[in-house]
Amino acid sequence: MTPLIRLDNLTVAYHRHPAVHHVSGAFTAGSLTAIAGPNGAGKSTLLKAIMGELRPAEGRVEHRLGRAEFGYLPQAAEIDRRFPISVIDTVLLGAWKKAGAFGRIAPGEVKRAGEALAAVGLEGFAKRHVGSLSAGQFQRVLFARLLLQDANIILLDEPFTAIDARTTRDLVDLVLRWHGEGRTVIAVLHDFELVRAHFPETLLLARELVGWGPTAAVMSPANLLQARAMAERWDEDAAACERREAPAA
């Protein structure tokens, strides 16, 4: 399997307080990986470092991908829906990612945006203001935006939090479709049942790596216990970590 994104001793810090420590490993092309771990484990931080939004304090993220090749769904809490924008214009932001800030929306993109809305079950919603949608409907809009963007690497931050079972099922189907098309999908998830049912690979994080590999092996009771114990020992004010990887033998 070809490594697409390699993490080499990756440490990411906020104001010198590390949130992710010394993570090494690789995402292979076409893999479907869940990132799991307790609250505050550094999962969102890791996603942002992977796509280059946060710079490593130490170590490296290695890939040959441009920022526009990443499709990214942020956590719902990070999005302000009071911004006066319609559903269709939100979906069309997916096309701007491809065109670049000073590019042009290609003819046909508006039609494709309408098709993406239909694919997520939101036909007839194009002119609605995003602020008037339910949480589940808005999440569908963001998936339609990803469909339009058509990225090969898709990063999802808690895509199924606070949405109903039917919407979750529909959106999980879309994720599985992307995986079937050979795209690389990495999703931060809190629902372990969902991880075990649909995600072949898991990266279990508790600021440090607890495990990374086939889901059944990584999500073992012993690893989950270890992740919880590590979370209980966190010191939010710890200074930048000085630990170094042992040199290769």
The residue ranges that bind ligand ATP (CB under 6 A) are: 14, 19, 37, 39-45, 236
Note whether 99 and 105 are within 8 A (CB).
yes
User: For 111, how many CA atoms within 13 A lie in the half-sphere containing its CB?
Assistant: 3
Count CB-CB contacts under 10 A for residue 1.
9
Minimum CB separation of residue 187 from ligand ATP in Å reads: 12
Tell me the torsion sign for CA atoms 189, 194, 199, 204: positive
Give the Å distances, CA to CA, from 140 to 81, 89, 169: 14, 14, 11
Note whether 191 and 34 are within 8 A (CB).
no
Q: CA 97 to CA 69: how far, in whole Å?
A: 9
Count CB-CB contacts under 10 A for residue 135.
14
Minimum CB separation of residue 54 from ligand ATP in Å reads: 9
Rg (CA), the chain: 19
Q: Which is nearer to ligand ATP, 25 or 234 (CB)?
A: 234
Q: Which is nearer to ligand ATP, 19 or 116 (CB)?
A: 19
Q: Which is nearer to ligand ATP, 81 or 190 (CB)?
A: 190
Minimum CB separation of residue 48 from ligand ATP in Å reads: 8
Start-to-end CA span in the chain (Å): 25
Q: Which is nearer to ligand ATP, 176 or 230 (CB)?
A: 230
Note whether 75 and 157 are within 8 A (CB).
yes
Minimum CB separation of residue 76 from ligand ATP in Å reads: 11
Minimum CB separation of residue 182 from ligand ATP in Å reads: 27
Q: Which is nearer to ligand ATP, 2 or 39 (CB)?
A: 39
Minimum CB separation of residue 181 from ligand ATP in Å reads: 27
Q: Which is nearer to ligand ATP, 68 or 238 (CB)?
A: 238
Count CB-CB contacts under 10 A for residue 222.
9
What is the biggest distance separating any 2 CA atoms in the chain, rounded to whole angstroms? Answer: 61
Q: CA 177 to CA 175: how far, in whole Å?
A: 5
Q: Which is nearer to ligand ATP, 74 or 114 (CB)?
A: 74
Minimum CB separation of residue 38 from ligand ATP in Å reads: 7
